[in-house]
Chains A and B, each alone.
Chain A
Amino acid sequence: MASVELKNLTKSFGKTEVLHGIDLVVKNGEFIVFVGPSGCGKSTTLRLLAGLEEATSGDILIGDQLVNNLEPKERNIAMVFQNYAIYPHMSVRKNIGFGLRTSKLSKADREKRIDEVAEILSMTELLERRPVQLSGGQRQRVAIGRAMVRDPSVFLFDEPLSNLDAQLRTQMRLEIKKLHQDVGTTIIFVTHDQVEAMTLADRIVIMKDGHIQQVGTPSEVYQHPKNIFVAQFIGAPSMNMLTGKQVKTGVQLDGGPLLKVLPTNKTQNSGNITIGIRPNALTLAKDGDDVLFEGKITIVEPLGAEALIYVDLGYANVIAHVPGYTPPKTGEMVKLTAPQQEIHFFDTESGLTLRQD
């Protein structure tokens, strides 16, 4: 196990800078997930850490050692790739043991280590098979086994679940989480799937355009997003966003009514406000509730014990996540409400939250 530190890390490809000064400390044994849309720089950061790319400037420390000039093999890291990168011409045993070829272990010790890893991953009976004879999930486990066998200080996972179907992805997600609980090694995991990020991470690093937008625990980034991007990126469906202008008594929505809600703090802002409300914070208003929105249902998506309803307010559209086996029907008029503490305020111009924590 080892901590990882990135200090003012930048990376340019030709004249294009794709990482703009990344600063991050990953604690020993922590499970960190980098999440963000395609092209945000998360995989590049991981490749810099692995030594597969050279940083343009800045420092990378693994443990207390500066590794900028070390070869990948000297960094004591292991990486699991999106396409597994298991060699089709080798058996599972040889694939798992491949990383031990350059170790100083005796052949017997190597075999013992392979057997141990296969046992942990429940793959003992698959050891003599070729990758072509394995399912997607089994191949992914071989890739993890090959990373584990070297007992690295840090595991790097580059979108390892992207090629799996939904069911298998959920299963492998659990297995990776269990693996982390069992071995306790520092894991840095890259994904574009915010559900994976939320379910796996001790802390999430949200990236956009080569900048870190926010670092925090899953509940922190969900409940207290620092900006509009994080608020919309984390959570499914995305947070409802409505723009307006701050007036004395509330927020005058663009093309809509005056909402009698205001940021609770005194942060300076441009006066242009974006209100954010998560779909699951919007509920059908009962008699006596303060009605926030009123509109017509355009689409209903039943999810079993709950449903997503898409409501046309006339000046904007919002989504509400409502409980119950019998949701309202398309075309019905509904009134929606939300608790004051579930309403997020952002400065429209800077995109930053107006909440002070």
Chain B
Amino acid sequence: MSQTKFKASQASLGRGSTYAYKNSLKPASVIRWTLLFMGGILMIMPIIYLLSTSFKWPHEIYNLQIIPDEPTLDNYAYVLEDGRFFTWFGNSAIVAICTTVSSVIFDSLVGYTLCKFEFKGKTFVFIAILSTLMIPTEMLIIPWYTMAVDFGWINSYWGIMFPGMMTAFGTFLMKQFFESVPDEFLEAARIDGLNEFQIWWSVAMPLVTPALSALAIFIFLGNWTAFIWPLIVTNDPVLYTLPVGLTTFSVEQSVEWELIMTGAALATIPTLIVFLVFQRYIIRGVVMTGLKG
């Protein structure tokens, strides 16, 4: 009797494992993986072509083959030996770092205030900030430009940076994260004698480090790759940021795609480093944003 049961259970185990194997190959799974694979290809192909073109001679760039017939490093040598590249790189770094630091500080200050303090007009202020998210950047360019002209900020770092010094998205993000900081932490610090600014800096900010890191990465990447506004607000090549500067390789008569692609490939290095170093924060930040939002 017991032997029969044992055999039966063995048989069912065998069937179970066969089914488990079959499950991984069922049509829904195949479709899912195929779609993911195609999505992946769609994402990665432009980058592969960018890298491929950066190693090609000008006569090869309209050839769609990925591996060049005659690969060359001349484009890299040209771009790196051209002093303008490092100027633009430096400008982009200054703009991206300054806006990131400023956004992290001001977005979290405003987010913290909106989250943890009660004052008249709080809801109105929050809605007003949120509503700016609904206006496309392109629509804001004219008022920004008028402001920049009126204040004499055209052709200056400040002119490039001021629209990004504080963001509605960051404020909203930080407000949501500060909701997860228990009020008792702040009250304990208040009883211990810290002033409100010290409480924000020493107690609240360290508790939202993952959110701050995610915000810093988003802001850095956004400003590093920003193109339209820096293009409009600057006309002195010394102040060009990298994306704007790279367009100077395109002139009326011809477009030097291999140099643009080489510059773009070099420009991705800082973003890749930022991503590799902080990827766990990016993922956690995105996940948390999704949960909180």
A residues neighboring B (CB under 8 Å):
50-52, 71-73, 77-79, 81-83, 85, 87-89, 98-99, 101-103, 146, 150
Contacts and interface: CB of A to CB of B under 8 A. Distances in A.
Interface of B: 182, 184-185, 187-194, 203, 206-207, 209
Contact of B184 (A71, A85, A150): A85
A99 B192 CA distance: 5
A146 B203 CA distance: 15
Contacts of B185: 85, 87
A150 B184 CA distance: 18
Contacts of B187: 50, 52, 72, 79, 81, 85
Nearest to A50: B191
Q: Which secondary structure characterizes the binding site on chain A? A: loop
A98 B189 contact: yes
A79 B193 CA distance: 12
B206 A73 contact: no
A99 B193 contact: yes
Contacts of A81: 184, 187-188
Contacts of A150: 192
Contact of B190 (A73, A82, A89): A73
Nearest to B203: A87
B209 to A, nearest CB: 8
B119 to A, nearest CB: 14
A150 B207 CA distance: 24
B191 A102 contact: no
14 contacts: A50-B187, A73-B192, A81-B184, A81-B187, A81-B188, A85-B184, A85-B188, A87-B206, A89-B207, A99-B192, A101-B192, A101-B193, A101-B194, A146-B188
Given A88-B207, A89-B207, A83 B184 contact: yes
A88 B208 CA distance: 11
A256 B28 CA distance: 71
B207 A73 contact: no
A102 B206 contact: no
A83 B182 contact: yes
Contacts of A98: 189, 192
Contacts of A102: 192-194
A101 B201 CA distance: 14
Contacts of B192: 73, 98-99, 101-102, 146, 150
A193 B194 CA distance: 32
A102 B191 CA distance: 11
Contacts of A103: 193
Contacts of B207: 87-89
A98 B207 CA distance: 16
A87 B192 CA distance: 13
Contacts of A101: 192-194
Contacts of B206: 87, 89
Contact of B191 (A73, A83, A89): A73
A85 B182 contact: yes
B77 to A, nearest CB: 47
Contacts of A99: 191-193
* Closest 7 pairs between A and B when the two form their complex, measured CB to CB: A73-B193, A102-B193, A85-B184, A99-B192, A85-B188, A89-B206, A81-B184
B203 A72 contact: no
A50 B190 CA distance: 10
A3 B286 CA distance: 52
Contacts of B189: 98
Contact of A78 (B182, B184, B191, B209): B191
Contacts of A82: 184
B213 to A, nearest CB: 14
Contacts of B193: 73, 99, 101-103
A103 B193 CA distance: 9
